[in-house]
């Protein structure tokens, strides 16, 4: 581990979220706009009590990188699960959490520890002083040429009490079951979500999600999407354009 990541571990000694597990689902994340799976692990695992990384069938070397990183982080477990849609797979991932809270992050997202803020300390203080079943965040969708602030990315609830079983509805996409979570608060922190160019994102929406949210061009069923997703993302057209590194990531620590 290089000096930069040793420094992250030092800072995390007073910023670590108590009784909280990072719970992430990954697949073919060796490279991505936020710097890839290795950078994601080094940037987040030191700041939580434990981490559960669910690999859902990577074929690009992600799984091997995770296995190698386990020697650096004795608080991290890597588990293999089949991808069964976003909601079902997330519920299964959360079932492995043993701490009070689960922190949900994707591999192209970032909580900063230094620049522009140590957001871990803000989260830590908020959790200690505002009890709730779940916590929402703000988001910054960071493109190479623009930033869209306060735009939700997927499910805005990203910290959830692990006593709530199967908090997501049994649908394809990640939707909170409002009957199970009635008490939630908003933490005044923006999760940084790094994206490729707008044109590359459009290709991802078309090729991977089999949708075009801009003009409703496609009309595939969830069953058709699940069948398509049995194939690894890196085998899809234009995968490497979706995953191209976003240099804006270098502005954040």
Residues 162-187 pLDDT 10s: 999 999 999 999 999 999 998 999 99
For the CA atoms of 150, 146, 39, 52, the dihedral, rounded to the nearest 10 degrees, stands at: 30
Residues 20-45 pLDDT 10s: 999 999 999 999 999 999 999 999 99
Check residue 8 and give its pLDDT: 74
Give the pLDDT band (50/70/90) at residue 195: very high
pLDDT at 76 over 70: yes
pLDDT at 13 over 90: no
Determine the structural domain holding residue 140 and report its residue range.
3-198+230-251
In a domain, 175, yes or no: yes
In a domain, 146, yes or no: yes
Q: What is the CATH number of the domain that holds 142?
A: 3.90.550.10
Q: DSSP readout, 22-76?
A: EEEEESS-SS-TTS-HHHHHHHHGGGEEEEEEEE----SSHHHHHHHHTTT-TTE
Please tell me the total count of domains within the chain: 1
In a domain, 86, yes or no: yes
Residue 215 C-beta-side C-alpha neighbours within 13 Å: 2
Beta strand spans in the chain (E): 17-26, 48-55, 76-80, 101-104, 109-110, 134-142, 147-149, 157-161, 184-194
pTM of the model: 0.94
In a domain, 158, yes or no: yes
In a domain, 7, yes or no: yes
The pair of three-digit structure tokens given for residue 194, joined into one six-digit string: 């790094």
In a domain, 216, yes or no: no
In a domain, 164, yes or no: yes
Residue 141 bridge partners (DSSP): 148, 193
Give the pLDDT band (50/70/90) at residue 221: confident
Please give the mean pLDDT across all residues of the chain: 93
Helix, strand, or coil (residue 251): helix
pLDDT at 153 over 90: no
Helix, strand, or coil (residue 139): strand
Check residue 217 and give its pLDDT: 58
In a domain, 211, yes or no: no
């Amino acid at each position: 581990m290089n000096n930069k990541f040793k420094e992250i571990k030092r800072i995390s000694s007073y910023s670590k979220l108590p009784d909280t597990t990072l719970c992430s689902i990954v697949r073919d994340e060796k490279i991505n706009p936020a710097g890839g799976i290795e950078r994601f692990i080094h940037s987040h695992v030191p700041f939580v009590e434990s981490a559960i990384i669910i690999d859902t069938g990577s074929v690009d070397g992600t799984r091997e990188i995770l296995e190698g990183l386990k020697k650096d982080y004795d608080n991290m477990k890597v588990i293999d699960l089949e991808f069964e849609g976003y909601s079902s797979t997330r519920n299964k991932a959360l079932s492995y959490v043993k701490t009070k809270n689960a922190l949900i992050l994707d591999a192209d997202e970032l909580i900063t520890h230094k620049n522009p803020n140590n957001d871990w300390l803000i989260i830590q203080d908020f959790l200690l002083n505002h009890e709730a079943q779940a916590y929402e965040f703000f988001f910054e969708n960071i493109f190479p040429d623009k930033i869209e602030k306060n735009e939700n990315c997927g499910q805005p609830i990203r910290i959830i009490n692990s006593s709530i079983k199967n908090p997501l509805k049994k649908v394809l996409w990640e939707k909170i079951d409002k009957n199970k979570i009635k008490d939630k608060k908003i933490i005044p922190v923006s999760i940084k979500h790094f994206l490729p160019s707008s044109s590359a994102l459009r290709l991802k929406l078309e090729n991977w999600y089999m949708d075009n949210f801009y003009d409703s061009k496609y009309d595939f069923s969830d069953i058709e999407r699940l069948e398509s997703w049995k194939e690894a993302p890196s085998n899809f057209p234009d995968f490497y354009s979706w995953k191209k590194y976003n240099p804006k990531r270098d502005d954040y620590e």
